[in-house]
Structure 1
Amino acid sequence: MIRLLSSPSPVGSEIFAVIALLVLSLIVLLILRHYLPLRTTPAYLLVPVFFALWLPATIVLLVPIDLASNASDEATKGIWLPPRALLVSWRISYWLTFVLTWFILPILAEYSDAGYREPKDRVLYSLRQNAQYYALVFGSAVLGLVYFFISYGPSFTSLKGLILALAYCWGLILAIYLMGHGLVAIPRNLVRNSSASSRLRRLQGQAPKLYEKMEDAMLNLEELEVQVSELSKRKTGSARNFQDWIEELSDICNIPESRPRSTLPRADNDGRIVPTVITEKYLADLTRQLSRARHAKSRYIDEWDHLLRDASKTQAILDSAASKKLDLGSSSPGSSFWEKITILTPYTRYLLYCRIIPYLRIFLGGFLALASICIIWSELVKAALPSLSVIRYTVIHHWTGNDDRVGFAGQLIAALWIMYMCAAALHSVTEVKVWRGRALVRRNTAHESAFWYAGQVAKLTVPLSYNFVTFLSRKVYQDTTFYYILGQYVDLTPLGKWFDYLFPVLVLVPVFATLFGLYGKVKRLFGFGVDIGDEDEESQTSYGTGSWREGRDLIERELNGTSISRRLDEAASRSADGRGRTAPILTVPAARNEGARTPFATSPSYRDQPVTRTTPSSRAEILDSEAEDDSFFANLGHRFKNTFDTMDTPKWLQEIGDGFKKPKWMGGNDEAGEGSNRAGRDDSDIRRWFGGDGRIRL
C-alpha cells in the first residue's frame, strides 16, 4: 500500500477514496436509521436527506485530498487524485449541495408540512410558503447584481460570481455564530459532566421546565384531538364534502373513551371549537397543527425519558461510592449498544464510571478547549498576521524550499480540524432553541425537521471548509480546485475578499456570550432572548419555581412510579379493563398562593381536576413540600400558619370555662357558655378573644 501511494499512479489513492466513500455511506445510513424508520419513511424524504448528509461528508474528505494533489513531487503526496477526477468530484459535490440547500430541501420541507391531501395542493402550498423567502433573497441579489455589473460589466461570470459569493457570505454568517458558540459549549460540557454530583444537579434543574413543556405539549395535542372529535360529529352541511379527510383525522387521533381528558368542550363554547363552514384550508391547517403537536409530544416524552435515564444512572454512580460496586440494572430499550453490554463486573464498572471516565472527560475537554483556542486565534490573525496561524503549522509538514506541501499526516490533521469546526456548529444547531420547535427524535423525527436539519448540515459545511482552507498560506490554497470552484468568485471583488477575511473576527461575540452567560442575562433583563441549553449554573440552582429541588422530587416520583400522570394512566387502564374497584379521583390540593406551587398542581393537564379533601397531616406535608422553594420569610409564614391551623385545643384550655360564667360583654350567657363548653375548640379558642376567626395572620 505504501508503495502504491508513493508511486506516480493514483490507483492506491483511488482505492482509498472509494473505501472511504463506502464507509461514509454506511455511517450516513446508520444516522438515518437512528432518527427515522427506514421502512415506513417515503423515498422522497430518504433520498434527498441521504445526499444532504453524504455530500458534505465527501467535501470534508475532498478538502485534504485537494490540498495534497497540487504537489509537484509525488513522493510528498498523501492521498491524491488526478486533476480531472478532482474537478469532476468537486463539481458534483458542490453544485448538488448548492441545489439541495437552496431549492430542493426547503420546497420538500414545506411540502411534507403542508397538511393537504393531494400532491398538487402540497406543491402549491410549498411554493407559496417559500415565495417570501425567495423574494427576500432575490431582492438582496438585485443590489449585488448592480454592484457586480458596474464593476465587471454584464456577463455570465459576474452572475455566477454573485450567486456563489452571496451564498457563501450568508452561510459564513450563520456558521461563524454557531461555531463560536459550539467551540465553548463542547469543552465546557465535557468538563462539567466529569463530576457526577454537578451533572445530577443540572439534570434536576432542567427537569421542571422540561416536564412543564411536556405537559403543555400533551395539553395542546388533547385540545386538537377534542377539536377533531367535535368535527367528526358533523354529518351535514359543508362537512359532508370532506368526510374521508375527517375520518382520517379521527383515525390519527384514536382517542379512547376511557382516557381522562383535562380539556373538555363546554356547552357554551362548542361553536367556537369548530367553525360553521368547513373549508379545505381549515382542514389542512388542522392536519398540520395535529402533526406538529404529535411530534412535539413525542419529542418532549423522548427528552424526558432520556433525562430520567441519565438521572437514574448518575444517582447510581453517586451511590456506588460507598460499596465500590455499580449496578445500573437492566438496560432500557432506548439504550445504546455499549450500554447493553454486561461483560463488566460491578466493581470494574465502578472503576470505569467513577475513576476512568471522569478523568477522560477532563482530559478531552481540556484538549478540545485548546483546539478551540487555536481556531479562534487563527481566525483573529488570518488577515493581519497569517504566518502566526497555529492551524497552518499543524497541517503543513513537507517544506520543499519556499514551497509549502501537505502530506498524509497533514491531510489527517486537516480532516480532524474541519470535522471539529463542523461539529461545533452542528452542536449549536441542536442546542439553540429558536428553530420553530424543530428537533431530532430517535426513530420518530418529523419529516419537516429532518429536511431542515439536513439542510443546515449542507449549508454550514461548505463555508466552514473554505474558511479552514484560508487558514493556510496562499501558495497552498490558491492552487487547489476548491479555490477554482468557489474561492476565486469570493475574491472577485474587494468587498467579498475583505468580508471573507474580516468577518470571522466576529467569532469573539458568540464566544464571549457563551463563556460569560450573556444569553441568560439578556433574557432576564429584557424578558426575552435565545434559549440555549447550557445556561449558567446559578440560574438553575436558584430558589423558586423550576429549581433543582423541585426537579429532584419530580424525578424521584417518576422513577418510583408515584407521579400523578402515571397513576392517572394506571387508573384509566384499570377502569377500561373493568377489573377490580373503580379508580379513585387522584388530585393535588391547590397551592395557597401563586408563589408556592408544585409542577403537578399547576401543570396544565390537571388544572381542571376536582379537588378532594385531605387530612391535616397530609395537607401539612404537601404544603411543606410546596413551600420548600419559597423565600425565607414566606417559608416562615407558611410554617407558622400551618402549625396554628393543625393545632388542637388542649384539654386544660377547654375546661377553663367550666368553673366560671362568662360576662355579657364577652358575648356569653348560660346557654352560650354551655354551648361553648360543648363545642370545645370552636367557641372556646383563646385566639378569638382578640378578634378575627381564630387564625393568626402574618
Structure 2
Amino acid sequence: MIGNPSAVGSEVFSLIALLIISLGVLLLLRHYLPLRTTPAYLTVPIFFALGIPASIILLVPIDLASSSRGDDASRGIWLPDRVLLVAWRISYWLTFGLTWFILPILEEYADAGYRDPKGRLLYSLRANAKYQGALFGTGLLGMIYFFISAGVKPASLKGLVMALGYCWGLILGIYLMGHGLVAIPRRLFRNASISGRLKRIQTEAAKVHEKMEDAIQNLEDLEAQVAQLSQRNTGSAKEFKDWIEELADESHLPESRPRTLSRRLSAPQVNVPNVITERYLADLSRQLDRARHTRARYLDEWDRILQDSVDTQAILDSAGSKRIEIGEASPNAPILGRFSVLTPFTRYLYRYHFIPYLRIFFGCFFSLASFCIIWSEVTKPINQYFSIISVTVVHHAEGQQGRIGFAGQVIAACWIFYMCAAALISLTEVKVWRGRALVRRNTHGESAMWYAMQVAKLTVPLSFNFLTFISPESLYKETTFFNFLGQYITLTPLGTWFDWLFPIFILVPVCATLFNLYGKVASCAGYGNVIEDDDEDNESGYGTGSWREGRDLIERELQGASSLGRLGHTATDRRSHVPNNPNNRTAPTLTVPPAERHRALGQASTSRPSADPQQHASTAPEDENFFEAFGHRVRNTVDTFESPKWMQNMKRPKWMGGDDDDVGDDGAGPSRSGSWFGRQDGRVRL
C-alpha cells in the first residue's frame, strides 16, 4: 500500500520562488522609484500589488498539478488543498482590497497637493467618492439580478462582488491583451531593420522634443507664478507664508540654461488671484509636482532617444568598416553594460548580423504564440479540445483525465506570463492615461500607484481566463481556483455566457492593431497628417514631426547646439557617454535620394524657429522694447512661413524676377522656395 506522498519538496520550492519574486519586485521598484526618498505608504502597497500577481502566475500551474495528481505522487510541484485554499484567499482578497480601495485612495493622497495629512486624506476621499458611487450604482443593478437568479443569501452577495470585479478586469484585460499580442511581434520585426529602426527613432525624436519644450514651458510658467506669489507679503498670502516659501525654495531651474527666442519674447502666463486660499495653493502644488515629473519624463525619453540614435547609427555605419568601437560607458549604464569582452569585429557581427536575425526569430516565435492564444479564445466556446494551449500544458493523458507534470507547469506559467505581459505592454504604449508614465528613478508616486493597480487588476481575470483553455473541462473545474472564484462567476446564466463568449471579442483589438484601424479612423477625423509619419506629399519633411526634423534635432543636440540648453548636462559629458563621437561624422545616413537628402540637410526645421541663443544674442536682447520685439516676431513669422502646395507648383512671372525655367539659387534645378513674395532665407522680394 502506497502512503500519502510528501509535499515538503514542493513547499520548499514554493518558498524559494516567493523569495525570488520578492527580490525581483524590489529591483523593479528600485529601477523606477528612489527608495530612500519614497515614503513607505507608497512602496509597501506597490510591493504587494506587484508581488501578489507575480505569485499568482506560479500558483495557477501548482493548482492545476495538485488537482490532477490523483492518488499517487505528482510529477510536478503540488501543494495540499488546504494550503492552496488559504493561498488563494490571501492572494485574491488582498489583491481585491488593493485594487478597489487601498491603491485608489493612496493614489489620490499622493497627488493631493496639500501639506497636512488630513487635507490630503479628505481630498482623496472626495476624489474617490464619485468613482465608488458609480461602482455602487452598477452594483445595485447587479445585486437585483443576482438576487433574482440565485436567491437572497450571503453567497449571492459574495458572488456579486467577485463576479463584477472579474467582469470589469476581463473587459479591460481582453482589450489590452489583444493589442499587445500584435504589438510585441510587430515591434520585433520592425526593429530587425537597422535603417528602419533609426528612422523611427528620428521620427519619435521630433515628437518628444516638441513635448519636452511644452513641458519646460509649462513648468516655467508655474514657477513664474510662484515667484510672483512669493512677492506678496500682505493680505491672504500672509496666512500661507510658510507654504509659499516652501514652493519658492523648490522652484529653481538651472539659471545657466539659455532660453529660446520664443520663450524670451513671450512673457510667462501668470494668473495669481487676489485672494489666496488653501485650495488654490493645493492646486498649484499639484500642478508643480506634475509639471516637474512631466519634464523629467520627457528629458529621460530624450536622453534615451539620443543614446539609441547614436548606437543605431554606429551599427549602420559599421557596414563598411566591419568594426564597432565603443566609448566610455554612461554612469547610468547597468553593471554588465560597463564591461565588454567583445572585440570591435565580433561586436560588429553580434550587433549587425546576429541581433537582427534573433529579433526575427523571436518575432516569429511570439507571432505563433499570439496565434495560439487567439485561436484558443475563439474556439473555446465551440470545443475545448481544439485549444492549442491545452495540448501544450496537459500531458500524461490517461483516458478522460489528464495529468500535468513539471514541464506542463512551466509551459502554463509561460503562457500566463505572456498574456499578462501583452496586456501590460499595451498600458505603456497607449498614451491615454492622463500623462502617466514610468520614468527611471523618478516616477511620480501617483503614476506608480496607478500602474501597480492595473497589474493587480488584470492578473486574476487573465489567469482564470487561462484556466478555461484547459481541456477536458472536468480538469480545470476540479482546481481550487475554480471552486474559490469560478463557481461564483458561473453562478448565474449571464455570468456563464459572459465568461465563455466575451473573450471572442479579442478579435476587435487584434484586427484594429493589425490593420491600423486606429490610424485610418484618425485620418477620417482629420488627424491623418499628425499620425502618419511618412507623408509622401510633404517633400521637405518638416513641420509634421518627420524623421528629417528629428535627425536635425538629434544632430544639433549631440553637437552641443541644443535649443533647450544642457538642462543639467554639458555637451562634453553627454558626448563622452555615447560611442563613436558624432562630432566627426555627418548627419545620419539613410536610403534617401541624393537631391532630397541635400535639400533636407540644407534647410532648417520650419516647425519652430532656430533657437540658438548665440545666434539671436544681438537681435533679441533681454531688455528689448515693444517695437523691437514686434519686429522680431514679424521676422520670425516670415522665416518660418511655408507656402501651400498649390502655390509651390506655380512659377513666378518674369516681371517679378522669375523665368520659364525658374532656376534655383544654386543653379542645380528649379527653385523650391514656393512663394511669389518670399524666399527660403526669409528675405522679401517685391
On whether the aligned pair clears a TM of 0.5, the verdict is yes
Q: Which amino acid aligns with 2:420?
A: C
- Which residue is equivalent to 2:89? 91
Q: 1:42, 1:228 → 2: CA distance?
A: 26
- Which residue is equivalent to 2:512? 513
Q: Which amino acid aligns with 2:483?
A: Y
Asked if the contact 1:316–1:328 (Cα under 8 Å) also holds between the matched residues in 2, the reply is: no
Q: Which amino acid aligns with 1:87?
A: L
Asked if the contact 2:213–2:564 (Cα under 8 Å) also holds between the matched residues in 1, the reply is: no
Q: How does 1:456-495 map to 2 (within 5 A)?
A: 456-473=454-471, 474-495=473-494
Q: How does 1:291-440 map to 2 (within 5 A)?
A: 291-440=289-438
SS in 1 for 2:435: coil
- Which residue is equivalent to 1:190? 188
- Which residue is equivalent to 1:31? 28
- CA-to-aligned-CA distance 1:493-534 (integer Å, 9 cap, x gap): 1101111111111111111111111111212222469x9xxx
Asked if the contact 1:215–1:605 (Cα under 8 Å) also holds between the matched residues in 2, the reply is: no
Structure 1 residue 600: Cα displacement: 4.1
- Which residue is equivalent to 1:288? 286
Asked if the contact 1:35–1:445 (Cα under 8 Å) also holds between the matched residues in 2, the reply is: yes
- Which residue is equivalent to 2:648? 634
- CA-to-aligned-CA distance 1:274-324 (integer Å, 9 cap, x gap): 110000000000000000000000000000110110010000000011111
Q: TM-score, normalised by structure 2?
A: 0.83
Q: How does 1:3-22 map to 2 (within 5 A)?
A: 8-22=5-19
SS in 2 for 1:181: helix
- Which residue is equivalent to 2:609? 601
RMSD: 3.5
Q: Which amino acid aligns with 2:328?
A: S
Asked if the contact 1:165–1:490 (Cα under 8 Å) also holds between the matched residues in 2, the reply is: yes
- CA-to-aligned-CA distance 1:99-151 (integer Å, 9 cap, x gap): 00000000000000000011011000001001111011000000000011112
- CA-to-aligned-CA distance 1:192-250 (integer Å, 9 cap, x gap): 10111000011111111110000000000000000000000000000010000001100
Among 148, 153, 157, which residue is 1:150 paired with? 148
Aligned in 2, Cα 1:551/1:155: closer, same or farther, shift over 3 Å?
A: same
Structure 1 residue 340: Cα displacement: 1.9
- Which residue is equivalent to 1:54? 51
Count of aligned pairs between the two proteins = 612
Asked if the contact 2:95–2:456 (Cα under 8 Å) also holds between the matched residues in 1, the reply is: yes
Structure 1: gaps spanning 5 or more residues: 1-5, 573-594, 614-621, 648-686, 688-693
Asked if the contact 2:542–2:548 (Cα under 8 Å) also holds between the matched residues in 1, the reply is: no
Q: 2:366, 2:481 → 1: CA distance?
A: 27
Q: 2:359, 2:254 → 1: CA distance?
A: 47
Aligned in 2, Cα 1:280/1:73: closer, same or farther, shift over 3 Å?
A: same
Structure 1 residue 547: Cα displacement: 1.1
Q: Which amino acid aligns with 1:34?
A: H
- Fraction of identical pairs, as percent: 60
Q: TM-score, normalised by structure 1?
A: 0.81
Asked if the contact 1:540–1:548 (Cα under 8 Å) also holds between the matched residues in 2, the reply is: no
Structure 1 residue 603: Cα displacement: 8.1
Q: Which amino acid aligns with 1:634?
A: Q
* CA radius of gyration, larger in: 1
Asked if the contact 1:549–1:629 (Cα under 8 Å) also holds between the matched residues in 2, the reply is: no
Structure 1 residue 333: Cα displacement: 2.6
Q: How does 1:121-136 map to 2 (within 5 A)?
A: 121-136=119-134
Structure 1 residue 38: Cα displacement: 0.9
SS in 1 for 2:565: helix
- CA-to-aligned-CA distance 1:638-661 (integer Å, 9 cap, x gap): 9998999989xxxxxxxxxxxxxx
Structure 1 residue 335: Cα displacement: 2.5
Q: 1:40, 1:454 → 2: CA distance?
A: 19
Aligned in 2, Cα 1:396/1:645: closer, same or farther, shift over 3 Å?
A: closer
- Which residue is equivalent to 2:61? 64
Asked if the contact 1:331–1:339 (Cα under 8 Å) also holds between the matched residues in 2, the reply is: yes
- CA-to-aligned-CA distance 1:446-475 (integer Å, 9 cap, x gap): 000000000000001001000001001211
Asked if the contact 1:66–1:480 (Cα under 8 Å) also holds between the matched residues in 2, the reply is: yes
Q: Which amino acid aligns with 1:178?
A: L
Q: Which amino acid aligns with 1:166?
A: L
Q: 1:571, 1:403 → 2: CA distance?
A: 67
Asked if the contact 2:384–2:469 (Cα under 8 Å) also holds between the matched residues in 1, the reply is: yes
Aligned in 2, Cα 1:144/1:602: closer, same or farther, shift over 3 Å?
A: farther
Structure 1 residue 432: Cα displacement: 0.2
Q: Which has the higher helix share?
A: 1
SS in 2 for 1:399: strand
Q: 1:186, 1:95 → 2: CA distance?
A: 32
Q: 1:200, 1:284 → 2: CA distance?
A: 43
SS in 2 for 1:276: coil
After TM superposition, the structure 1 stretch with the greater mean CA deviation from structure 2, 418-427 or 395-404, is: 395-404
SS in 1 for 2:564: helix
